[in-house]
Structure 1
Amino acid sequence: MNPKWWKECVVYQIYPISFMDSNGDGRGDLRGIISRLDYLKDLGVDVIWICPIYKSPGHDNGYDISDYCDISKEFGTLDDFDHMLREIHSRGMKLMMDLVLNHTSHQHPWFIESRQSKDNPKRDFYIWRKGRNGGPPNNWESYFGGSVWEYDERTDEYYLHLYSRFQPDLNWENPAVIDKLHEMVAWWLKKGVDGFRFDAIAHIVKAEGLPDAQNPNGTKTVRAYEMFSNLEHVHTLLQNLNDQVLYFYDIMTVGETSGLGPEQALEYVGDGRRELNMTFQFEHMYLDAASAGSGKWDIVSWNLPELKKIMSGWQTVLHGRGWNANYLCNHDQPRAVSRFGDDIRYRVVSAKMLATFLHMLEGTPYMYQGEEIGMTNAAFQSIEDYRDVETLNYYEEQRNNGVPEEEIMKAIHKKSRDNARTPMQWDGGENAGFTTGSPWIRVNSNYVEVNASSAVKDPDSIYHYYKNLIALRKKHQVIVYGEYKLLLPLHTEIYAFTRTLEDKQLLIILNFFDRNPVFELPQEISPDGMELLISNYPQDKSEDLRQLTLRPYEARVYLKTVALA
């Protein structure tokens, strides 16, 4: 079982610019977070993960860091940070920082020096190359569209950026870069932070020689993910980081590692690997994309058997060998209830069903701000209301390709990262109680109906359902450590599975759609002695569990004691 505190915790992710504004400038800040800590403590969360709050020009909402050891003035000061950390710890909660080690801002002092001349001491802190044939050094495509290379006139060379041109990639082949980053990580740990989410960590190593990627379509740039994702040397670098810095602290770590399956994930999180505690996998995030390689904007309908296949693979392969980080939405993904539930007619019950699914899987559950009150996608009508650089680049690219406005906006309404970045809806007052000023991005128009104040007062709300799920996790070890077994793998509407730990067994039954399928209890499972732990509908205790007609988006969790083999 190998108990660890980070396996037993529940994590709540804060996107600070959108969480709570304390000074009326329209942007969330650290004092705003402090003012809402009691809300999070009451909910029952153990760890708060805060997206980047470092000094930054904000071209990618803080993921472009210009000073790793200072706080962006819009969020506050280092004194505010120290105050926040003390307040978090005083409530028995922990803090996980979001740290970007793959790239910096183009305004970081290292890069400012690096671009001064080819012989500058900081030149090799970044990846510079000469162009070829009047163009970029290779055909790799950025995650945000276009080439990964940006021409710099001063030195007549190109620098590499996997993300925006304002986010130059660090050169992890340079030992001086590694030393500086290790020193910085240790500096935060000495301040008392309790862990890190390592952004884009799978990309810190690039293919030797930076060769062209295969290009069957003959286009100028190619999605060359295999050239800069999960390469072997990443593991050596992470092991060195662990052995030299992380090992000396009792912390939790999770890496953002797209493009891998569970067997590959064990190379990061497997017992004895000395790398990371968990990784975020992305396979289920591509369920509604035509293909993982086609990009997230190419939207298709998703199906439940495929979700089962993906999640079951992660649950079974990592059991007893590694640990899962489970999530349904975050700052880069659409709202879960809009994507996998019904955010109109069945918003409340479908949000509760998805919460049950998330919290009953083996692994650490990660909640995103507003998920606990069922916040939905925003679907702004005008592109002028969007702020996300990825969304704006997509819109411009599609317009240039002659795609109709209506078609572009339909995709944006479903997949824009700004769906998750609208302000937290605290109450039904002006700007949802987020700010007394003008919010940096519009508030979702449904805030009068969907807000935390109303949810806390309503004992049947999504908020209280999450609170009950978290309390159950703390009470029953089988929810944390029980072994997962899938039932009905081909059923197109019902997702059912068991979790078993010693003589305790959970039965989880989830209806993922708005119809009324019949659940038939497998013969190997006896209904005798089953106790209903939680459900999102009132239950009739006289029902025959052998055959249940489920209501739309119904969720049930049963607990029983079983005979040991």
Structure 2
Amino acid sequence: MTIVMTMDAKKNETGTVPESDKKWWHNAVVYQIYPHSFMDANHDGIGDLAGIISKLDYLKQLGINVIWLSPVFKSPMDDNGYDISDYQDIASEFGTLEEMNKLIAEAAKRDIRIIMDLVINHSSDEHPWFIESRKSKDNFYRDYYIWREPKADGSAPNDFKSYFGGSAWEFDGTTGQYYFHQFSKKQPDLNWDNPKVQEEVHKMINWWLDRGIGGFRMDVIDLIGKDVDKQIMTNGPRLHPLLQEMNKATFGGRDLLTVGEAWSATPETAKLYSDPARDELSMVFQFEHITITFDPEQGKWKPRPFDLLEFKQVISKWQTELADCGWNSLFWNNHDLPRAVSKYGDPGCYRVQSAKMLATALHFLKGIPYIYQGEEIGMTNVHFDAIEDYQDIETLNLYQERIAAGVSHEDMMQGIHENGRDNARTPMQWDSSLNSGFSDGNPWLKLNPNYTEINVESALDDPDSIFYHYQKLVQLRKTHEVMVYGDYQPLFVEHKKVFSYQRQLGNEKVIVINNFTNEPLELTLPKPLQGLKGQCLISNYAPRKQLSESLALAPYESFALLIKPC
């Protein structure tokens, strides 16, 4: 979660933003769909495009105006679609190219744009380029990928490890060389030093843009400038020139939203991506607020307790350092991360209150909020007891590797229960019927057993549900520019239990106060805040209309107070 205010949205002398500097996506809220798990229309147990189309009215009711669609390209599904075998066709599991066209058109009727998940660091080993590449050393497509000779003893060129476990080098007996893959061995990395690769990708991007999509989310985009021989994987020397060339050749002249996934991003490098003067991307996903709960050595498989003070320091750093240069994204969870209410809230006694608090804390920050499917109804992590119940390739590979290295089953399952990717991938919970209305077939991944209580149908029937809290937050962004363009100022910086901040645009202020604990607490306010009266924009308890000398906050209480000049 992070930032906002780009160089092309500077404030004028009145402290507001001129109409000419605003873009359509500045006040957008993005909803991420993981197609496998959203809605199955053809009863095969796998979500599909027809299922998404059938739920567009639900998303319209929520109020979002952008859908980020995780990959639906043709794929053997080794990594659930992040291994693409044809960039210009649709996986049969999801439907057809005609149905994709229909989704784009039907979404547009509801003022919703589709941004596609573009995976261009690597392809599938079943892509025609790679099939040709591995035939011979002098094949035309050989240099579309990264091949190296073995060491003298026949071993891999270097000891770089795959993010999914094991070596990042796979020996291919046909030509006696190794190819490089940072993820699965079925996901060979493309060679971005080859101008032909760039040309092919640019042509493909324009092909999709001409079909009417609203932009792209770019998977692990910080890896395309790598130098494998020097083992420089992120932020390589060619990264930003490559993005600038891509911008110029494709989306740079169009009114689109582009966001890059960049686990390595710092505020300094984020400015390189998202400063409009550099002509690269609209924004990046940065993950510093996520990784503070990972063990420095063992990563997410050895979780650390959430530290609110550390979290606030990270958020405030990103909010302030990129305030006038770039735009960034706000998110708690996605298809790779655990469920927000399980990670940062209380999925038990205070699930509703803490889910609403997390939503308020996020949506009033500077930036574009991203809602991951099911977040708006407070879906939770799943605790499968058997490793066999999980489907994620990363989880399964790392489980085997770490068990072999001596990690206990219990410790590994604790990490999977807290941070495994399948937490986010259990099917969407639509109602309390069999398979929660997701599918009449056998779901590809088991459902969370709590679907009988936590589902869309019950949320829509309850006027005080998490859904309607999210709906109101989305509406507020469309009507209050202070949420979009206002300056950020942290409040109660050293408080260990409260996350609070102020947004200001011109003469308008919004004070946001969030109790991050399951305990009631007394909050003493500084004198400048005492006595302020205003409009309570949103609250998860009784509305607050005034700030007194002290506030008695209920567990996970959260509210936003709009202060206007008299």
TM superposition score normalised by structure 1: 0.95
Distance 2:85 2:176 in 1: 24
1:377 equivalent in alignment to 2:386 = no
The structural deviation recorded for 1:407 is 1.8
Q: Distance in 1 between matches of 2:213 and 2:250?
A: 13
Whole-angstrom CA distance in 2 between matches of 1:547 and 1:171? 60
Asked whether 1:169 is paired with 2:184, we answer no
Tell me if structure 2 keeps the 8 A contact 1:494–1:517.
Answer: no
Q: Output the aligned Cα RMSD.
A: 1.2
**Which whole-Å CA distance do the structure 2 matches of 1:527 and 1:154 have between them?**
77
**Greater CA deviation, 143-152 or 20-29?**
143-152
Which secondary structure state, in structure 2, belongs to the residue aligned with residue 297 of structure 1? strand
The equivalent residue for 1:548 is: 551
Report the secondary structure of 2:451's partner residue.
coil
Structure 1 unaligned segments of length 5 or more: list them.
214-226
CA distance in 1, matches of 2:298, 2:237: 25
CA deviation profile, 1:342-364 (whole Å, cap 9, x unmatched) = 00111000000000011111000
2:391 alignment partner, one of 368, 375, 387:
387
Q: In structure 2, list runs of 5 or more residues that go unmatched.
A: 1-8, 10-20
Runs (4+) of structure 1 exceeding 6 A deviation are none
| Kept in 1: contact 2:508–2:564 (CA 8 A) | yes
- Residues 435-485 of structure 1 show CA distances to partners (whole Å, capped at 9, x for unaligned) of 000000000000000000100110000000000111111110001111110
Query: Which residue is 1:279 aligned to?
Result: 284
Tell me by how many angstroms 1:248 deviates.
2.5
1:46-445 alignment runs, 5 A limit: 46-132=65-151, 133-207=153-227, 210-211=229-230, 227-291=232-296, 294-445=298-449
Q: 1-side partners of 2:131 and 2:79: how far apart?
A: 18
Deviations along 1:170-192, one digit per CA (max 9) or x if unpaired, are 00000111000000000000000
SS at match of 1:496: strand
Which residue identity does 1:241 align to in structure 2?
Answer: M
Deviations 1:85-126 (A, max 9, x none): 110001111110000010000000000000000010000000
**Equivalent pair of 1:148/1:160 in contact (CA under 8 Å):** yes
Partners of 1:418 and 1:523 in 2: how far apart? 47
Shift of 1:520: 2.1
Q: SS of 2:25's equivalent?
A: helix
Deviation of the 1:540 alpha carbon: 6.3
- How far apart are the structure 2 equivalents of 1:250 and 1:143? 34
CA contact (8 A) 2:532 2:547 kept: no
Contact 1:314 1:324 in 2 (8 A): no
Aligned to 1:64, the other structure's residue is in SS state coil
1:484 aligns with 2:484: no
Secondary structure, counterpart of 2:263 in structure 1: coil
Cα separation, 1, equivalents of 2:544 and 2:238: 57
Taking the aligned partners of 2:263 and 2:335, their CA distance within structure 1 comes to: 15
CA contact (8 A) 2:36 2:46 kept: yes
| Aligned-partner Cα distance in 2 for 1:540–1:19 | 37
State the identity as a percent.
50
Q: Using structure 2 for the length normalisation, give the TM-score.
A: 0.95
Contact 2:44 2:441 in 1 (8 A): yes
Q: How many residues align?
A: 546
8 A contact 1:230–1:257 mirrored in 2: no
Letter in 1 for 2:361: F
In structure 1, what is the equivalent of residue 18 of structure 2?
A: none
Picking from 534, 559, 562, the partner of 2:562 is 559
Instruction: Name the SS for the 1:296 alignment partner.
Output: strand
